[in-house]
Amino acid sequence: MMKFRVQLALATLLAANHPPAIAAEAIVLASTTSVENSGLLANIVPQFTATTGISVHVVAQGTGKALDTARRGDADLLLVHDPDAETQFMKEGHGLTRRQIAWNDFILVGPSDDPAHVRGGNDSVAALKAIATVQAPFVSRGDNSGTHTAELRLWKMAGLDPGVENEKWYRDIGGGMGQALNAASAMDAYTLTDRGTWLSFNNKGALVIAVENDPRLINRYDIIELNPKIHAGVKLGPAKVFADWLISPEGQQAIGAYRMNGERLFNPSAGMPE
């Protein structure tokens, strides 16, 4: 028994020293739950790894947490979507370059019986006001992510602050995009989501798109390389190769080609005016 246990321990220790799929070079990409939950990175990263041999380890967090991970020096590259927080990050000197690689848009989704009567519109701010007026349940990410700050900007434009006023119908779940959609689906609530996660989400229940095509709902994704003067441990070389690939015609083509049920989730946008 004792001998067996020792052998078992040794065998498993050896196994742990050889984790699967360690390539010659690997970078840690801190990213958002929307690009992970939508399946985009799982689709395009293997294409990149096949041509360059560089592995990309994707850690999916909200944008706020991803930026903090990079601030601590625990990521080599960032793919995020919160313009204001990114500007702050660059101002602090953590970033070297910030380039837009893709865009899609946020949409307001809600229950098909539509208690706030906002369905079919394209004015997201008016829709939030209507939701607040009838006190229809609204799920907020509440996790300092890009989608969460976009939602807070819209509430501000509406002149409301249900989170601070602790309204009962405003449900702050503190979770990722998929978690918020699961919650909204379960409690027949409205929520703001990026279109990519929505299209690939498979538990919509009674949820339908309520408001879309509002210019205020544009959602841009940026790739940020880190400043080696602050983050000496960062693998700047291979990180730059991946960043440049995303901008390149090949990378842009891969992003644009990713579809779910025939619909494009992310529009390539490198070099587009801001």
CB of residue 73 to other proteins, shortest distance in Å: 4
Compute the least distance from the CB of residue 138 to other proteins, in Å: 19
- Please, how many CA atoms are within 13 Å of residue 32, restricted to the half-sphere of its CB? 29
| Interface with other proteins, residue 97, by CB under 8 A | no
- Which range touches other proteins (CB under 8 A), out of 52-60, 143-151, 160-168, 220-228? 52-60
Least distance (Å) between residue 66 CB and other proteins: 11
Q: How far apart are CA 212 and CA 109, in angstroms?
A: 9
Q: Does 87 bind other proteins (CB under 8 A)?
A: no
Q: Which stretch binds other proteins (CB under 8 A): 6-14, 101-109, 132-140, 162-170?
A: 6-14
Query: Does 157 contact other proteins by CB under 8 A?
Result: no
Signed CA dihedral, 159, 164, 166, 169: sign only = positive
CB of 221 to other proteins, least distance (A): 17
The yes or no reply on residue 33 touching other proteins (CB under 8 A) is yes
Among 93, 120, 159, 233, binds other proteins (CB under 8 A): 233
User: Which backbone phi and psi does 43 adopt, to 5 degrees?
Assistant: -85, -45
Q: How far apart are CA 91 and CA 78, in angstroms?
A: 16
Q: Which of 32, 35, 37, 214 binds other proteins (CB under 8 A)?
A: 37
In the chain, where does DSSP find H-type helix? 2-17, 33-37, 40-52, 63-71, 83-91, 124-134, 146-157, 177-187, 195-200, 236-247, 249-257
**How many angstroms separate the CA atoms of 202 and 37, rounded?**
11
Burial string for 118-133 (b: 16+ CB within 10 Å, else e) reads bbebeebbebbbbbbe
Q: Which of residues 176-195 bind other proteins (CB under 8 A)?
A: 176-179, 181-182, 185
Rounded to whole angstroms, how far apart are CA atoms 24 and 33? 27
The reply to whether 98 sits near other proteins by the rule CB under 8 A is: no
The only residue of 204, 216, 240, 264 in contact with other proteins, by rule CB under 8 A: 204
Helix (H, G, I), strand (E, B) or coil at 10: helix
Report how far residue 179's alpha carbon sits from residue 145's, in angstroms, rounded to the nearest whole number: 13
Q: Looking at 12-20, 136-144, 159-167, 249-257, which segment touches other proteins (CB under 8 A)?
A: 12-20
Interaction of residue 168 with other proteins, rule CB under 8 A: no
For other proteins, the binding residues (CB under 8 A) are 1, 4-5, 8-9, 12-13, 15-16, 19-22, 28, 33, 36-39, 42, 55, 57-60, 72-74, 176-179, 181-182, 185, 200-204, 233
